[in-house]
Structure 1
Amino acid sequence: MFRPLIFFIGLRYTRAKRRTQFISFITLTSVLGIALGVTALIAVLSVMNGFEAELRERILGMTAHSTISGRFGQLENWQTLAERTRKLPHVEGVAPFTQGQVMINADRQVSGSMLQGILPEYEANVSEVAAHMTQGQLSDLKSGEFGIVLGIELAHYLGVGVGEKLTVITPQVNSTPAGILPRLKRFTVVGTFQVGMYEYDRNMAMIHLDDAGKLFRIEPAVSGLRLKLDDLFNAPVITQDLADALGDDYRVSDWTKAHSNFFRAVQTEKRAMFIILLLIVAVAAFNIVSTLVMVVTDKRGDIAILKTQGLSDLAVMGIFIVLGCVIGSIGTLLGTAGGVLLALNVETIVPAIEKAFGIHFMAADVYYISEVPSKLSWVDVYWIAGMAFVLSLLATLYPAWQASRINPAEVLRYE
């Protein structure tokens, strides 16, 4: 009997009479506050997901999903190991590499750089650098010709272009009659690449694997093998399986270890942003408290009459919990719909705003990511909607409890 009555009265109180227009206005602001908070939270987290995905894609376009190196830093007879590794589960591509820190000199400019020796025909199996060449091709790196491919920012800093010469200085030294001198080698620039990450565009250069072996004096050995896996997000588990299969003679690591601090920082920032924006939703949700307190004050006579007719304290609480949940549900649903629509159309809305007002949120000459990306996560949407509803529900408890404590005798004494 009471359950339909509770819902009927609770829903009835959502509609205003003339004398309660102010209460309805406060109710409307509570709904809009929750809706705006939920919309902002979904949109911001989607944009942060988009930036994280964009950064991960660019980083992993240059970084191997997994790396195999020798126990003492070098791999002998890497061809046999590459064939063995290629046959293991989850491995889609294998490429050898030799790398080391060098100084690069061009005219009067000098810059430290990570020099990586590669086999052009293998490199496309594990990285996307070939697709980001701005000048030349990776295939222009030929054994014995000592060609070099530079990151675009490094090339600009050194002031060199395709066809020009530069000098690579290695940490190894030569003993000469004049004393101990560093090893120098002249290279010819055969190409440049741009992946959109300063770490690589400014600090990386590539040469042929054979030339790297001669330069660092480790040929025919290499520094290791780079692997491409079929599931990069499961790289830690797959890497452990590879390590078990290859034995203790090799060290196997994955990309999560190489970039763990970076992605951990991104996750921490997302959590902090979630908490900050959730506080906005909480403020809007707890506006329901003031709304319900005013409704309780306005309906004291109605509550007293209902209680004299046998309505229990628990049922009175139920009426105002229903009222608060309706307000919270409407705000949450509106906010969720608005947030999802905004998140799915950020990449259209932002350029339209930039064009209309003649501004650029992320100028291409300043930021490597010049567009605002967005990646909607339905898990985030469910969490945000759930938290908003729970906060709305919690906000109803105190006013509902106050309503249940009304004494009919005191209220109706002067009626």
Structure 2
Amino acid sequence: GMLVHGGDILRPAVVRGILPGEETKVSDIGRQMKEGSLDSLQPGSFNIILGIELARQLEVKIGDKVAIALAEGSSFTSVAPTLRTFTVSGIFEAGHNEFDSGLGYVHLEDGEQLVHLNAPFGLRLRLQDLQKAPEVAFELKQTMPGKLLVRDWTKLNTTWFAAVTTQKHMMFVILTLIIAVAAFNLVATLVMTVTDKQADIAILRTLGASPRSIMKIFMVQGALVGVLGTALGVVGGVTLALNVDVIVPAIEHLFGVKFLAKDIYFISAVPSDLRWHDVTIIGITSMALAFVATLYPSWSAARVRPADALRYE
């Protein structure tokens, strides 16, 4: 529908009819209320709860009146808008711009009167395991009679989640390239060390050290650098991930910047979901690249000829 305030401010919105007592079982709207209460939605009260951005765009606050305009008719030439005035009784903030700027709640019975229905035409379910939503939706569609439209959250947000998946894959590639650059630096450091220590390597060789033992020395040195760097990176990354909800707002407040604009990224805060499986993969990849980076310098050190290295000493 279209929400109207003051006769000149119009904003499109999805108006959802709910039962306040049941809504808290399928959504977090009860904990997201910034002003007012979900219990203010009583049958016949014609109250409405708006998202915080929608309320700001309409320039309304608790107690103000807004009109909901709905189009009726079966063709574009016979559309007669239906107007009904509602009182703003609450404001919520979901943290997702799509909801905060385009969603309103009314009581189910008031919504039925608004669209002239005798029964609700939608039912939402909340699962303990959200990953099973596609499976449950498929089973419901197969077992329930009638022409029903069954949709799960993955279908409602297909484009958004596809973009997130693509970004996650690209981030893994970028992180791998960053680790590879660090590995190249390790190669350069070890090569310079081998060049600088050629005389010492030659002396060890004349004392009976085998090429394999020389190679082991530099492999251990490079591996220790890789393990230490990986450990510091993992500890720092995990610490940052666990405290990103505190660190990012502090930086935004300190420098007066905003990392995520609601109207561009649809979310207002940097989310963090630490996955130890990903941490393990990144850590193992880092150590593996560090180990591979030690092979050439170590092989080069093992090939040092004592006579050539000590010729000018």
TM-score (norm 1): 0.63
| d(CA) in 2 for partners of 1:281, 1:123 | 47
- TM-superposed deviation, 1:342: 4.0
Matched, 1:138 2:38: yes
Q: What is the 5 A alignment of 1:305-320?
A: 305-307=203-205, 311-320=209-218
Corresponding residue for 1:235? 133
SS at match of 1:382: helix
SS at match of 2:151: strand
The one of 1, 6, 25 aligned to 1:125: 25
The one of 133, 137, 148 aligned to 2:48: 148
SS at match of 1:166: strand
- Structure 1 residues 311, 243: closer, same or farther in 2, change over 3 A? farther
What residue identity is the alignment partner of 2:69?
I
Matched, 1:171 2:75: no
Corresponding residue for 1:390? 288
- Structure 1 residues 382, 187: closer, same or farther in 2, change over 3 A? same
| d(CA) in 2 for partners of 1:174, 1:404 | 85
| d(CA) in 1 for partners of 2:311, 2:74 | 106
Matched, 1:160 2:56: no
Corresponding residue for 1:197? 96
| d(CA) in 2 for partners of 1:410, 1:354 | 60
More strand by share: 1
SS at match of 2:304: coil
- TM-superposed deviation, 1:392: 1.1
- Post-superposition Cα deviations, 1:269-323, rounded to whole Å, max 9, x if no partner, equal 3443443344333322222222221222233344445556665544433332122
Matched, 1:279 2:177: yes
Corresponding residue for 2:159? 261
Corresponding residue for 1:114? 14
RMSD: 3.5
- TM-superposed deviation, 1:123: 1.6
- Post-superposition Cα deviations, 1:321-351, rounded to whole Å, max 9, x if no partner, equal 1221122122222333333344444555566
What residue identity is the alignment partner of 1:234?
K
| d(CA) in 1 for partners of 2:51, 2:311 | 86
SS at match of 1:188: strand
What residue identity is the alignment partner of 1:269?
Q
- Say whether the 8 Å CA contact 1:148–1:187 is kept in structure 2: no
Matched, 1:322 2:220: yes
What residue identity is the alignment partner of 2:186?
I
Corresponding residue for 2:277? 379
The one of 198, 216, 221 aligned to 2:115: 216
- Structure 1 residues 413, 161: closer, same or farther in 2, change over 3 A? closer
Matched, 1:251 2:149: yes
| d(CA) in 2 for partners of 1:341, 1:188 | 47
Gap regions ≥5 residues in structure 2? none
- Post-superposition Cα deviations, 1:101-121, rounded to whole Å, max 9, x if no partner, equal x12222221221112222223
Gap regions ≥5 residues in structure 1? 1-101
Identity %, equivalent residues:
44
Corresponding residue for 1:23? none
- Structure 1 residues 335, 210: closer, same or farther in 2, change over 3 A? closer
Matched, 1:300 2:198: yes
The one of 233, 246, 254 aligned to 1:335: 233
Matched, 1:359 2:255: yes
SS at match of 1:229: coil
- Say whether the 8 Å CA contact 2:54–2:101 is kept in structure 1: yes
What residue identity is the alignment partner of 1:216?
V
TM-score (norm 2): 0.80
- Post-superposition Cα deviations, 1:374-407, rounded to whole Å, max 9, x if no partner, equal 5443223322322221121121111122223333
- TM-superposed deviation, 1:134: 3.7
- Post-superposition Cα deviations, 1:116-165, rounded to whole Å, max 9, x if no partner, equal 22222322221122333344433333334433332233233223344443
Q: Which moved more, 1:191-200 or 1:241-250?
A: 241-250
| d(CA) in 2 for partners of 1:343, 1:271 | 18
Q: Which has the higher contact order (CA 8 A, sep 6+)?
A: 1
| d(CA) in 1 for partners of 2:260, 2:38 | 26
